[in-house]
């Protein structure tokens, strides 16, 4: 891992509107490309463990596909149940690679 | 789907569930209550009264003084959604085991829900949408009205009507229930409400006129099935929800023949997307999820009932047979008597 974080994928592997699950320090992380902007949050919903990578994008929020908890991709904060959240990671691009940092 | 294949899968999946008892049984230590209730539902559907006994006793042991349960067995605060799920299993266990200790615990559940109902008929739980949350106590009250004692029935009748009315008024013209906060697409909410609250009321002699609502819900569910047989983008949980709901509604409004191609396709998809050698995932290709595995067994058991000639088999498996006496096995009663 360098200062930018760990390289987890090639940029072209996650086209706009899509997501990919990577593992970072033993944790599942969901990386999203929202119209060219990249976001990374913990993949498992704190409610019942639903995979957020399979959720529905709503602007810059992701809705858990199981029971509908909605998370802001920037902060990881749950929007419809504010007392909950998922970890949010910083994402950067380096030489065509995506780097994720806790 | 071939019924022999269904029976063989039920047997092997049930054995698997038994082999991982440490991960869901309240008799083994603290558990996720939703998972424990999912597993107990399977045991009850399997007709395993002897196996359900220790689980029902553990459920009672974990019940709070207010009559509810926490999301985790060690949590001290009760939550409506999971409490309703546990209450449903308790009253069905009570019908099988018929013991005063269980009956007393059912009354505590009833009081919990009578205390928690809002003036417009809804129940709330911060983790779930109000429509979904309300459907579960209504479903519990449905079963109370179907198989509870006279005293239980009198206690819930008025609250049940208010809750059911809240649900009926929340249905959209197109037949779906949309929860803008949690489920804007409506898939899971419509499946839950269709099977848990609305159609079950058809089995009750004192029910509100719910048949048009049930028909609209069934049509909505069928219309939203994907061409591969699944629902909501290959979502295993929602596909199982929609399948169970359509099985029950179609049987109760005698629309089995019309629905059979769609339901067979759904069952094929569910069977094709198991994890191997056992269980089901949240999405195809993902790892096994125990809660989904319980749902998978539940779907198989309900499909099996749906294929029986007697139309009441389906409602029996959902627990809604008004006035149906259940004869406990003498050995089970003996064990319960010794333990209390």
Interval A69-99: pLDDT, tens: 999 999 999 999 999 999 999 999 888 889 9
CB contact under 8 A, B182 and A65: no
Taking CA atoms, what residue in A is nearest to B186? Answer: A68
ipTM for the whole predicted complex goes beyond 0.90: no
Residues paired with B289 in a beta bridge: B280
| Higher-confidence position of B309 and B169 | B169
- Cβ-contact B253, B213 below 8 angstroms: no
Predicted local confidence at residue B340, as pLDDT: 36
Residues paired with A40 in a beta bridge: A31, A89
CA distance B9 to chain A (A): 25
CA distance B201 to chain A (A): 25
Nearest to A65 among B128, B235, B289 (CB): B235
Predicted local confidence at residue B323, as pLDDT: 44
Strands A70-72 and A88-94: what pairing?
unpaired
Residues paired with A30 in a beta bridge: A21, A41
Query: Above 70 in pLDDT, residue B272?
Result: yes
Q: Chain A within 8 Å of B126 (Cβ-Cβ)?
A: yes
Distance CA A47, CA A67 (A): 8
Contacts of A49 in chain B (CB under 8 A): 282, 289
For residue B172, give the 3-state DSSP assignment: coil
Contacts of A82 in chain B (CB under 8 A): none
3-class DSSP string for B43-71? HHHCCCHHHHHHHHHHHHHCCCCCCCCCC
Alpha carbon distance, N-terminus to C-terminus of chain A:
11
Residue of B282, B284, B293, B295 to mutate for A, most A C-beta atoms under 10 A: B282
Distance CA A6, CA A15 (A): 19
Query: Above 70 in pLDDT, residue B207?
Result: no
Predicted local confidence at residue A2, as pLDDT: 67
Query: Above 50 in pLDDT, residue B63?
Result: yes
Predicted local confidence at residue B76, as pLDDT: 95
A1-15, A18-32, B207-221: which has the highest mean pLDDT?
A18-32
Query: Above 70 in pLDDT, residue B320?
Result: no
Average pLDDT score over residue span B8-37: 96
Nearest to B182 among A48, A50, A80 (CB): A80
Predicted local confidence at residue B331, as pLDDT: 58
Q: Chain A within 8 Å of B286 (Cβ-Cβ)?
A: yes
Indicate the pLDDT class of residue B264, thresholds 50, 70 and 90. very high
Q: Work out the percent of chain B whose per-residue pLDDT is above 90.
A: 73
Average pLDDT score over residue span A47-54: 93
Average pLDDT score over residue span A2-12: 81
Q: Chain A within 8 Å of B13 (Cβ-Cβ)?
A: no
Span B126-150, pLDDT tens digits = 999 999 999 999 999 988 988 888 9
| Higher-confidence position of B329 and B193 | B193
Nearest to B282 among A56, A66, A81 (CB): A66
Taking CA atoms, what residue in B is nearest to A71? Answer: B182
- Cβ-contact A33, A18 below 8 angstroms: yes
Task: Write down all domains in chain A, each with its CATH number in brackets.
Answer: 6-101 (2.102.10.10)
CA distance A95 to chain B (A): 31
Q: Work out the percent of chain B whose per-residue pLDDT is above 70.
A: 92
Contacts of A48 in chain B (CB under 8 A): 34, 291
Sheet containing A27-34, strands listed edge to edge, beginning at the edge strand earlier in sequence: A6-10, A97-101, A88-94, A37-42, A27-34, A19-24
Query: Above 60 in pLDDT, residue A29?
Result: yes
Q: Chain A within 8 Å of B235 (Cβ-Cβ)?
A: yes
Query: Above 90 in pLDDT, residue B260?
Result: yes
Q: Chain B within 8 Å of A66 (Cβ-Cβ)?
A: yes
For residue A28, give the 3-state DSSP assignment: strand
Span B79-105, pLDDT tens digits = 999 999 999 999 988 887 888 889 999
Residues paired with B113 in a beta bridge: none
Distance CA B237, CA B246 (A): 14
Predicted local confidence at residue B55, as pLDDT: 92
Residues 151-180 of B with CB under 8 A from A: 179
Span B226-237, pLDDT tens digits = 999 999 999 999
Predicted local confidence at residue A95, as pLDDT: 87
Q: How many CB pairs below 8 Å do chains A and B form together?
A: 42
Query: Above 80 in pLDDT, residue B336?
Result: no
Share the mean pLDDT of chain B: 90
CB contact under 8 A, B181 and A49: no
């Amino acid at each position: 891992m360098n200062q930018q974080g760990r390289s987890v994928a090639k940029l072209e592997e996650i086209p706009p509107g899509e997501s990919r699950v990577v593992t970072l320090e033993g944790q599942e992380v969901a990386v999203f490309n929202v119209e060219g902007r990249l976001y990374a949050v913990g993949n498992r919903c704190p409610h019942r463990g639903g995979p957020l990578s399979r959720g529905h994008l709503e602007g810059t929020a992701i809705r858990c596909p199981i029971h509908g908890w909605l998370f802001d991709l920037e902060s990881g904060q749950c929007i419809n149940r504010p007392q909950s959240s998922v970890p949010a990671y910083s994402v950067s691009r380096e030489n065509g690679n995506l780097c994720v940092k806790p | 789907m071939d019924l022999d294949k269904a029976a063989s899968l039920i047997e092997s999946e049930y054995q698997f569930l038994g082999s991982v008892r440490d991960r869901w049984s309240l008799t083994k230590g603290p558990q996720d209550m939703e998972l424990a209730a999912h597993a107990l539902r399977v045991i009850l559907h399997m007709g395993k009264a002897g196996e359900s006994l220790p689980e029902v006793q553990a459920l009672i042991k974990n019940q709070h003084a207010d009559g509810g349960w926490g999301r985790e067995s060690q949590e001290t605060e009760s939550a409506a959604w999971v409490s309703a799920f546990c209450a449903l299993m308790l009253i069905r266990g009570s019908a099988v085991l018929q013991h005063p200790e269980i009956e007393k615990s059912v009354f505590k559940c009833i009081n919990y829900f009578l205390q928690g109902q809002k003036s417009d008929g809804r129940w709330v739980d911060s983790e779930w949408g109000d429509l979904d949350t309300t459907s579960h106590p209504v479903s519990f009250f449905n079963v109370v009205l179907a198989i509870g004692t006279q005293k239980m029935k009198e206690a819930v009748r008025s609250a049940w009507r208010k809750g059911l009315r809240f649900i009926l008024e929340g249905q959209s013209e197109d037949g779906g229930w949309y929860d803008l906060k949690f489920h804007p697409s409506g898939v899971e909410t419509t499946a839950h409400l269709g099977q848990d609250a609305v159609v079950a009321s058809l089995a009750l002699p004192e029910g509100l006129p719910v048949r048009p609502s049930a028909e609209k819900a069934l049509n909505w569910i069928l219309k939203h099935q994907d061409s591969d047989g699944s629902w909501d983008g290959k979502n295993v949980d929602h596909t199982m929800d929609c399948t169970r709901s359509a099985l029950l509604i179609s049987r109760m409004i005698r629309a089995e023949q019309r629905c059979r191609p769609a339901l067979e396709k759904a069952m094929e998809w569910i069977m094709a997307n198991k994890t191997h050698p056992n269980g089901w995932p949240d999405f195809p290709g993902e790892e096994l999820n125990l809660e989904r595995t319980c749902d998978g067994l539940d779907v198989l058991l309900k499909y099996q009932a749906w294929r029986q000639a007697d139309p009441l088999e389906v409602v029996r498996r959902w627990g809604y047979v008004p006035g149906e006496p259940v004869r406990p096995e003498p050995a089970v009663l003996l064990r319960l008597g010794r333990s209390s």
